[in-house]
Amino acid sequence: MKPPWHELLAPLPGDALVRRKPVSDKLPGWESLSVELSAGAAGLRHLLVTLENGTPISAGDWVLFCSGNPVQYRHESIGGRIETDGTFNGTRWRTVAIEVPGQDDPETRETVRSQPTAEETAMLKALVREIVERAGRGSR
């Protein structure tokens, strides 16, 4: 069973919109491709691919999800650099926080940093290919 589209590294829904924009006037040939997906009040997913002269050089997938009473927040991300030989050098993060009455900021309950697995790296690379392909078809 495929994970829901708002989960980290899940396939994109068919109607996901890719936005393309230059990174900076000072970096000619650099542009970003981004996809933002909302799960309503439950969360947000943001994917970002940076291109240099049309070649992907970095990628990230971030998910922020909230639920329950008290509200629990789960932030997961995977991101890093895509090397010229196609390898991926990045990090995977998972943080869980919970709202505490009387405090302005949620209290972090867990933070885990790890190296992406080979399967996670392959899934991120597949997302990068799909995003670049959709951007090439004129999705703005």
pLDDT at 140: 43
Model pTM score: 0.87
* Confidence at residue 45, expressed as pLDDT on a 0 to 100 scale: 93
Q: What pLDDT, on the 0 to 100 scale, is given for residue 139?
A: 47
Res 2: pLDDT: 62
φ and ψ at 44, to 5 degrees? -145, 145
DSSP track, the chain: -PPPTTSTTPPPPTTPPPEEEES-TTSTTEEEEEEEEEBTBTEEEEEEEEEETTEEEEEEEEEEEEETTTTEEEEEEEEEEE-TTS-EEEEEEEEEEE--TT-SSPEEEEEEEEPPPHHHHHHHHHHHHHHHHHHHTT--
pLDDT tens over the chain, length 140 residues: 666 777 899 999 998 999 999 999 999 999 999 999 987 777 899 999 999 999 999 999 999 988 888 888 999 999 999 999 989 999 999 999 999 988 899 899 999 999 999 999 999 999 999 999 999 876 44
Q: What is the pLDDT of residue 1?
A: 60
pLDDT at residue number 3: 66
